[in-house]
C-alpha cells in the first residue's frame, strides 16, 4: 500500500502568521538571497528592497521593488516565520532603513527559478 502525498493549500500554521502578514502591507522589506551550490558554498548574494503590496497565504508576499529594480514586482513564498523587524543599524544598499528584513538560502544557481529554498530563522 502506498501513501498518497499530502497537498497543502496553505503554509503550515507555524510558518504563516496572518496578523504579521496583515501588518506588512505598506511597510518596507529588505530581502537577502544567498545562492548555494550542492556543497553549501556561496555562489552569489542578492539584495532587494521594496514595499509590501500584498500578503496572503495562497499567493505569498508581493513586493513593489525600489532602488535599481524600481517598479518590478517580486513575490516571496507565503511564509512569515523568517521575517523580523529590522535590527538597529541595518540599512539597504542605498542607505535606507527598512521596516522588516528576511533572508533566504536557495540551493541552486540564481538562474534556476525552481530552486529549493529555506528561510534563515
Domain count, the chain: 1
Residue 93 lies in a domain: yes
pLDDT band at residue 113 under the 50/70/90 scheme: very low
Inside any domain, residue 76 = yes
In a domain, 4, yes or no: no
Residue 45 lies in domain: 13-114
User: What number of other Cβ atoms are within 10 A of residue 87's Cβ?
Assistant: 7
- For the segment 55-76, the average pLDDT, to the nearest whole number, is 94
Residue 1 inside a domain? The answer is: no
In-domain check, residue 5: no
- Is 69 part of a structural domain of the chain? yes
List beta partners, residue 44.
Answer: 35
pTM of the prediction? 0.78
User: Is residue 104 in some structural domain?
Assistant: yes
Amino acid at each position: 500500500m502506498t501513501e498518497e502525498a499530502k497537498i497543502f493549500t496553505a503554509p503550515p500554521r507555524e510558518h504563516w502568521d496572518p496578523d504579521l502578514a496583515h501588518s506588512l502591507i505598506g511597510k518596507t522589506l529588505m530581502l537577502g538571497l544567498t545562492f548555494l551550490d550542492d556543497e553549501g558554498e556561496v555562489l552569489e548574494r542578492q539584495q532587494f528592497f521594496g514595499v509590501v503590496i500584498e500578503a496572503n497565504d495562497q499567493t505569498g508576499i508581493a513586493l513593489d521593488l525600489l532602488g535599481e529594480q524600481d517598479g518590478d514586482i517580486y513575490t516571496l513564498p507565503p511564509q512569515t516565520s523568517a521575517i523580523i523587524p529590522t535590527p538597529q543599524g541595518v540599512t539597504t544598499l542605498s542607505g535606507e532603513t527598512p521596516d522588516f528584513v528576511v533572508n533566504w538560502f536557495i540551493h541552486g544557481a540564481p538562474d534556476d527559478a525552481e530552486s529549493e529554498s529555506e528561510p534563515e530563522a
